[in-house]
Structure 1
Amino acid sequence: MTEMCAQGSRLYANALRAGRIAREDVESAPCLMEFALLYPDPDDANWLIPLPASVALAQRLNPIEREIAERRRLSVELTESLQPFMDLSTQVTGSTHSITVLEGGERINAALNLATAQCQTEMLTIQPSTRISESSLLQGLERDRPLIERGVRIRTLYQHTVRYNPGKLAYVAQLSDGKVEYRTIDELVERLIICDESVAFIPTRDDQQVALELRHPGLIRYLIKVFEFMWSRAVPLSEHAPYETAPDGITDIQHTIAKLLVEGHVDEAIARRLGMNVRTCRAHIAKLATALGSGSRAQLGYLIAQSGILNEDHRPGGS
């Protein structure tokens, strides 16, 4: 207890002025006795004598100061016992902050905001197409616009399906000024953000509630090479979408779906990798089955493999 009740404060002040106070008067303020601010008058049991405030303060502070001193002593001892091992830990593990686990959307966004605020040259991002809320788009604009104003180069990879997403297209239009480039590719797996070749962020769960903040130079270099590999194979968003139909009557996106089907992926996984909903994915599979004359899902995989449509010279633009 560190504060007196209002009634106790008033009665204690009166007692200090008068030099004593009737015992019956303090029955309504038990906090006075809890603070030990009054003691019995040796000459008259009906009265109480006030303890001087300076004495009362010293009595209350002494145990607190002793506890503080003891905790300081313990902290010094703990530091002295572990200090010899600090340098050894750094030598063995390298940077203690090379990989940081971020849990929860609030903490992830805070780390992203800090990294983008410190970004000075270039930010690379891979953004798989998902349904995104208006608030998330606004949050992205608030984070990315200052980068453009500082002259930071931004390169972003989307899936081809983003070309038919009004929300994403509006977002891109808002950031069309400055050194910003957008490209699309048929499939992406996971989200990736890299700032200034010094820090990267990747998710570890599908619900985007756990992410890794990476600052290990080797990991950063590897992820940049992965990005550049995909970037070189992607199509600028300003160019026509690569959905032309090949001579075999199958579109480029259906060729990609055929490849994933042969690899054994289920409809939901294919839709996620291509940034489309499952219904659209199944519609493409149905058209693919019709084009190949398949009567069942099992037969479709066999016909894809036998048809040769996955060969490069059968693909749109193939030689």
Structure 2
Amino acid sequence: MAGHGTQEHPHGADRLCEAGDRVYSRAVRRGRVPRRDAEPVPCLLELALLHPDPDDMDWLVPTSPQEVMTRLLRGVYDEVSASQRRMGSAVAAFEWYAGLGSQSPAVGAEGVAIRVLDGSSRIQAALDEATQACATEVLTVQPGGIRPEHELTEGLHRALELRGRGVRMRDLYTHVARHGQGLLNYLELMGDSVEARTLDEVIDRLIVFDRTVAFIPANADRTMALELRHPALVHYLVTVFERLWRLAIPLTAPLPDTGIEGISHREQSIAALLAEGHQDAVIAERLGISVRTCRAHIARLSETLGAANRTQLGVRIAQAGLDRPPRAADVEPQPSLTLPDQGSRTVR
């Protein structure tokens, strides 16, 4: 799509083709246009003049003319000597569009509060811009299991830039991430500028800069993201992060003992999710492990608790008090309880 549009529409945002001019004008005047109306003019999406409506992906909303003009001028000023004439052209082109939107103030306001980033290049550019503007703090939630080396490498340049400016970073991971050597190497490199904690399971990916702008995924494969600048939305996400942070365990601290001989912390987490009625695939996804690993843990749970089938396993999980998620506070010694038909094993 990108290559096709470039061949048929070889122009910049400062001099739209006739078809692009009509669709963009209609979008500014009405506040949005159906996605199908923009299919003949892919240049509008390629130039980020239109982007998906967060409330309905079948519609496209215009980037405000003022924002487009600011973006153009930023690039123009980088090449002042060679771009003087283009600067005047950009201003002249978008003064008229700005007039079209004067009766629709909500378009500009929403474009700033919630912006849909379509494609990895736009997501990356927005993250880089937020990184450059960040002055004090970054909060992140990183779901899944062991972080791949390429993900850690991609984010390293931003992290080093932030550390150089004295920005503090706090990262939340699942307990499984503790086993990734790449993450341990990354944290050692970053020193005390990064503090990491882990939980059995976390929310989907979240990045918050200076408690003013947040990024969250907009689809399952993370090819789209939402950039949020509405104060109420950002405050809500920060509150969620802080509550998870208080429940999490520092990466430098060991996971608490389950109090049950032969049952690991991860198996206790799996037991709690089994008790809630979740399938193996759901449990694996929530804990950041593979389905195969999840089933291996379930087999060990059955053996340890002396369960012959899944129904009996559910009963034994409840009898052993494993039907609730493990907590960091669950380290106080408790009176010993003998598991049914398992005289040699005890619950403390």
In which range does the TM-score fall when normalised by the shorter chain? 0.5 to 0.7
Instruction: Determine if the alignment matches structure 1 residue 246 to structure 2 residue 264.
Output: no
Query: Which residue of 2 is the match for residue 282 of structure 1?
Result: 295
* Shift in Å, 1:307: 4.0
Task: Name 1:86's counterpart in structure 2.
Answer: 104
How far the C-alpha of 1:94 sits from its partner, in A, is: 4.4
Find the counterpart in structure 2 of residue 160 from structure 1. Answer: 175
Aligned 8 A contact 1:156 1:182 in 2: yes
- The answer to whether the 8 Å contact 2:113/2:229 transfers is yes
Q: Distance in 2 between matches of 1:125 and 1:309?
A: 30
Q: Partner of 1:163: helix, strand, or coil?
A: helix
The residue matched to 2:111 in structure 1 has which SS? Answer: coil
1:221 aligns with 2:239: no
**Which residue of structure 2 lines up, in the alignment, with residue 105 of structure 1?**
120
SS of 2:156's equivalent in the other structure is helix
- Contact kept, 8 Å, 2:281 with 2:291, in 1: the verdict is yes
Q: Secondary structure at the match of 1:261?
A: helix
Q: State the partner residue of 1:304.
A: 317
Q: CA deviation at 1:278?
A: 2.1
Give the aligned residue type for 2:312.
Answer: Q
Query: Aligned pair 1:265/2:278, yes or no?
Result: yes
Match of 1:121 in 2: 136
TM-score of the superposition, structure 2-length normalised? 0.62
Query: Paired residue for 1:141, among 121, 146, 156?
Result: 156
What TM-score do the two structures reach when normalised by structure 1? 0.67
**Where does residue 208 of structure 1 map in the other structure?**
222
CA contact (8 A) 1:261 1:301 kept: yes
| Residue aligning to 1:7 | none
More off after superposition, 293-302 vs 138-147: 293-302
Query: Secondary structure in 2 aligned to 1:246?
Result: coil
Q: Is the 8 A contact 1:246 1:252 kept in 2?
A: no
Kept in 2: contact 1:252–1:316 (CA 8 A): no
Q: In structure 2, what is the equivalent of residue 195 of structure 1?
A: 209
Structure 1 residues 246 and 95: alpha-carbon distance in aligned structure 2, compared to 1, 3 A threshold: same
**Aligned 8 A contact 1:162 1:169 in 2:** no
Does the Cα contact within 8 Å between 1:129 and 1:276 map onto a contact in 2? yes
- Of 245, 252, 255, the residue aligned with 2:268 is 255
Residue type of the partner of 2:162? L
Could you tell me how far apart the structure 2 residues matched to 1:127 and 1:193 are? 9
Q: Deviation digits for residues 124-148 of structure 1, max 9, x if unmatched? A: 0011134544333221111111101
What residue is the counterpart of 1:175 in the other structure?
190
Note the C-alpha offset of 1:218. 0.5
Structure possessing the higher radius of gyration over alpha carbons: 1
The CA deviation at 1:297 is 2.3
CA offsets, 1:210-250, max 9 Å, x none?
211111110111111110101001111111233x2413643
Contact 1:194–1:200 (Cα < 8 Å) also in 2: yes
* Count of paired positions: 242
Looking at structure 2, the residues matched to 263 and 179 of structure 1 have their Cα atoms a distance apart, in angstroms, of 38
Q: Which amino acid aligns with 2:331?
A: G
User: Which residues of structure 2 form unaligned runs of 5+?
Assistant: 1-91, 335-348
Task: Tell me the distance in 2 between the aligned counterparts of 1:125 and 1:103.
Answer: 21
**How large is the Cα RMSD of the aligned pairs?**
2.9
- For the 8 Å contact 2:146–2:176, the answer to whether it is kept is no
